[in-house]
Amino acid sequence: MIACLPSPQNKTVGGVWATENLYPGLKTNNTYGTIDFSDFPMHHGFGIKPGQHVSGEAMHNYLQAYAQRSNILPRIDFETRVLAISRLDDRAGWNLRVRQGADERDLQTRKLIIATGVTNAPNRPSIEGASDFEAPILHSAELGLKSGLLTKDLSEKKTVAVLGGGKSAYDAVYLAACTGHQVEWIIRKSGKGPVWVPPRHTNIGPFKVLREVSSTCHHPLHVPHNAD
């Protein structure tokens, strides 16, 4: 049994989908019925209808409800960072050095699952002249906490430059454009270019097929089952 599921900066469940990480307009790429656990289907109470993309808010509420139903909320140490992990002397478990606020302590556990994600440490490019740039510089990971910088009413049109061609860049461009900013979207030539964002539906003959549903829920039916 896991003794604790630490979360360094998060005050709420969900990691990417923690309340404080959600920015206006954030939706999952997944449509209703394709991102939920099979033992806890996302019901209509989360406000998403069949065919609609699951919003960030609904995703957070769903994960919160899942944690509540599974009684794991009391086991989570929020706002706690794991600083170091080492083997216990008897090699039967692990010691975790953790920091919560100003306090540091040790936790012991027999089994350890590391699920720290791949997107929660911002990759901040070093840009020449950035320290002298007078306007705010945000990483998309901060959009949840600082989206106000883009959403507040503008008395005059301001320019926002967005660097990158991934989904975070798409969302930042959309958010800034929708709030009346002039957007300069910068995608470097040397890289992969803009990511492809597929439409929700694929037309197969006369049928409009929900892409996400066909590739997740239906596809396994056509994959040979391995009895092992």
Ligand X SMILES: Cc1cc2nc3c(=O)[nH]c(=O)nc-3n(C[C@H](O)[C@H](O)[C@H](O)COP(=O)(O)OP(=O)(O)OC[C@H]3O[C@@H](n4cnc5c(N)ncnc54)[C@H](O)[C@@H]3O)c2cc1C
Ligand Y SMILES: NC(=O)c1ccc[n+]([C@@H]2O[C@H](COP(=O)([O-])OP(=O)(O)OC[C@H]3O[C@@H](n4cnc5c(N)ncnc54)[C@H](OP(=O)(O)O)[C@@H]3O)[C@@H](O)[C@H]2O)c1
Binding positions for ligand X, rule: CB under 6 A: 6-10, 15-17, 28-30, 81-82, 115-117, 119-120, 168
Among 68, 70, 108, 119, the residue binding ligand Y under the rule CB under 6 A is 119
Q: What is the 3-state secondary structure (H, E, C) of 43-111?
A: CHHHCCCCCCEEEHHHHHHHHHHHHHHCCCHHHCCECEEEEEEEECCCCCCEEEEEEECCEEEEEEECC
| Residue in the block written with tokens 């990158």 | 164
Compose the 19-58 pattern: x for residues touching ligand Y by CB under 6 A, - for all others.
Answer: -------xxxx-----------------------------
Verify binding: residue 218, ligand Y, rule CB under 6 A: no
Whole-number minimum distance, CB 103 to ligand X, in Å?
15
Verify binding: residue 140, ligand Y, rule CB under 6 A: yes
Contacting residues for 24 by C-beta, under 8 A, at least 6 apart: 147, 151, 175
Distance CA(165)–CA(74), nearest Å, equals: 39
Whole-number minimum distance, CB 132 to ligand X, in Å?
29
Among 22, 171, 172, 175, the residue binding ligand Y under the rule CB under 6 A is 171
Verify binding: residue 14, ligand Y, rule CB under 6 A: no
